[in-house]
Structure 1
Amino acid sequence: MLVKSARKAGIGDKTIYIRTLDEGLVSFYYNGMDISVEKKVTAEIEGNLEVATSIGELDVKVSALPDDVEVTVEKTTGGPIQFTWGGSGKRKSGLKVDILPETSPMIDVPPFEETVNWKPGVLHNIVRYIPPFTLHQNSNKAAQMPNALGPNFSKDDTGRVIVRATDGIKGVIIYPKHMEWFDEPMSIDVTSLQGVADVIPSDAEIQVGLSGGTIVIFKAGYTTAVCRTLIGKFPPIEQYFKTNTKGKLNIDRLELIELCKRVKLLAPTAALLQLQVIDDKVFAIVPSVLEQALPASVEGEVPSFAVGAVHMEMAALLFAMSKSSDELTLYVDNYDKSISVALDGKEDIRLWCLPHVSQFVREANDALSKPIPSTV
């Protein structure tokens, strides 16, 4: 669990430290720039042990151990540590683990200034659906919007918690239930949250602590994670979500997901979901390849428009967070304006995608705008 957490958190093949503690506990921990995690486990301790090994080494050697056996961890002076199991004396099996000549202080958990509680599954729900909506660290926009490398947590004037995320192409605003937050808005790197989720079970209640306004601590049982918040101000993404549009399109969520997958398969180098509306009938178009009639209804004036198939697929998948997400409503004002997505009459999840202005979309809308020549 700790190896997986370190890799999700972007720690790479660095160091994991193992140290015996009092009261029959062993501490496994790693220290990073943005996240540090400690997980304690119970053990029968016969002597003090303090060693360091690489994440990769520990991963390989633990994976090679047989299941459902009791393992003894031994260390000789100046040598590696050894995992031993089964039998006694010469019949005992052993596996050597290389160690590193490093030491590190225990994770310093700062005092909690404020605490809130997250119900079981809240963190894991965020980690499951939010990452596609956050900026990647290698993105060109990361330097401009460092606060968007992870979700932003805040509260509105009524005290409702708001979770926002954007990658600059799409964005989402969620009003989650069963979540508390502090008065100050702040963002946490999504890789740090993934690292936390990998060491805390989804059925555990989590105590979330705030320290100094820049450190967030997650604690559940014997597991503690210390995360640094992201710098900067989160962008004002609310302005892109609009429902007072000229028209809207209603479509089954699963149908939309399958359509996006089909477009990615047929046009892998330019996976554009291009929807053409003719006489209130909706068609998905991949020029010279696909023309698919869709079981979708149209209200008002909906122009033909295009959006990245990957982005729209991620949007439709995110609505699985809602238990009543059979049909989605796409609000469209113009082919060059953001497309808003929500559940009709319910806006606990507000999502938008920026359009792709393709040549096909331009021509399709131009054709409809030209007057039909009169005949005599």
Structure 2
Amino acid sequence: MFKINVERLQNEVGNIVTAAKRSRLQQSYIFVSASKEKGTVSFSFSGEVLSVVKTIETEVTEDLSFATSVLEFQLKVSSLPDEVEITVALNPKGQLFLKWGNGSGIILLTVDEERIELNSPETIKSISFPQGKWNYFTLNFATFCALPNSKAADKSPTCAGVNFSKSEAGTVVQATNSVKAIKSIEEMDWFDVALTIPRDTFFAITEIVPSNEIITVSLDQTKTKIIIEGSSVFAISRLLDGNFPNTEKLFCDKNSSIVWRADRMELLETTRRVKKLGGQTPIMSVFKKDTKHYAVLKDILTEKIGAVIDSEKEEGFVVNPNNLEAALTVLRTEEVLLAFTQKAAPITLLSGDDDESENSRSNLKVMIAQVKQ
């Protein structure tokens, strides 16, 4: 039996349920175990991609273990009243009871499933993601991965994850779904082998650890799994097998034959407007006419934009605004360069800021494919 504030319980259960769904559960159950000796409650699940134990401290008066379905847990806990303390215990009939106040409560249906114990395999090396870096890679790189079971992932399974490899300049981090890609060199340690961590692992772990947490990652001896540890989380994730696609050929630089320079936030606002107006398959055209520069959604929107062309060639471009929005969102610089080699070629987006500070993200580059008009 244990006691816990309802807001805290709802937050923990909501996060663990979301993480479990991200992990593509093999069994749609969540296991809960309360230890009086340790004064802790652990929530665990096992998925196709990731298995997790999340542990919290709370008042435990009696050992208690049970399993319940993901949907049952989410429904019953989300239905609890606000601003109460919840006691989780067995009632006289042996049913699990979420109790509050003077005898009020909700029965939580349980299932007869044995808890899966997560035992750490033998490891060969551990590295740490610096404070906040795991969350950074989730928000900025995992969103560029291919969806599991998509055409891109079927063709190249590693496209469904974020790839890390060691180089002389630092750790190369990259992701792609074949129509957009992102790449940077990070000042962090890495293993001697290139590894691809599933996008679902990034999203799931981000749900259950604080955004500024230092995450420790260890590689098992078979080099097929990683062990992920935070202050309250222990997890084992599989790695994606295979070589990561060569994305370097997709990128170009600021010396390319066609280079546009634009105010990032202004272009982002226009892009979002096109996206909102364009329906399911929006197409955004950007071009120069006379001395002015325009963004156009055919037959709906024509908008003058604050942009210039830095190259002799003055070729315009045509993109899906969803991809352009993703690229502009991760750069976070005042100015952005959009460089490409010829009409309809992939566009590389780079920092247009003059300084080389960390805030300029001058090391980060993003590619988006052009589309047919």
- Shorter-chain TM-score bucket reads 0.7 to 0.9
C-alpha contact 2:127 2:216 (8 A) present in aligned 1: yes
- With over 3 angstroms needed to count, the CA separation of the structure-2 counterparts of 1:220 and 1:269, relative to structure 1, is closer
Q: Deviations over 1:218-264 (max 9, x none)?
A: 21122112111111111001111111311211001111111112222
SS of match in other structure, 1:207: strand
CA shift at 1:68, angstroms? 4.5
Deviates further, 219-228 or 280-289:
280-289
Which residue in 1 is equivalent to 2:106? 95
State yes or no: 1:4 paired with 2:4: no
CA shift at 1:78, angstroms? 7.2
* Residue number among 225, 250, 254 corresponding to 1:215 in the alignment: 225
C-alpha contact 1:31 1:107 (8 A) present in aligned 2: no
C-alpha contact 2:344 2:370 (8 A) present in aligned 1: yes
Residue identity in the other structure for 1:37: V
State yes or no: 1:334 paired with 2:342: yes
CA shift at 1:190, angstroms? 0.9
Q: Deviations over 1:99-133 (max 9, x none)?
A: 01111331222233211112221111121222331
* Unmatched tracts of structure 2, length 5 or more: 1-14, 357-361
Deviates further, 344-353 or 184-193:
344-353
Which residue in 2 is equivalent to 1:17? 31
* Residue number among 96, 104, 112 corresponding to 1:81 in the alignment: 96
Q: Deviations over 1:124-143 (max 9, x none)?
A: 11212223311011312221
Q: Deviations over 1:311-356 (max 9, x none)?
A: 1111001113xxxx01100112211211111013664111111111
Counting only pairs closer than 5 Å after superposition, residues 274-313 of structure 1 correspond to structure 2 as: 274-279=285-290, 281-300=292-311, 301-313=313-325
Which residue in 1 is equivalent to 2:124? 113
Residue identity in the other structure for 2:366: L
* Residue number among 175, 180, 202 corresponding to 1:193 in the alignment: 202
Q: Which has the larger radius of gyration?
A: 1
SS of match in other structure, 1:348: coil
Distance 2:178 2:110 in 1: 43
Counting only pairs closer than 5 Å after superposition, residues 67-216 of structure 1 correspond to structure 2 as: 67-75=82-90, 79-86=94-101, 91-158=102-169, 160-177=170-187, 179-212=188-221, 213-216=223-226
- With over 3 angstroms needed to count, the CA separation of the structure-2 counterparts of 1:225 and 1:49, relative to structure 1, is same
SS of match in other structure, 2:329: helix
- With over 3 angstroms needed to count, the CA separation of the structure-2 counterparts of 1:283 and 1:224, relative to structure 1, is same
Q: Deviations over 1:261-282 (max 9, x none)?
A: 2222333244112112235532
Deviates further, 129-138 or 286-295:
286-295
TM-score by length of 1: 0.86
SS of match in other structure, 2:154: coil
CA shift at 1:12, angstroms? 8.6
Distance 1:157 1:180 in 2: 11
C-alpha contact 1:330 1:340 (8 A) present in aligned 2: yes
Which residue in 1 is equivalent to 2:57? 42
How many percent of aligned residue pairs carry the same amino acid?
A: 26
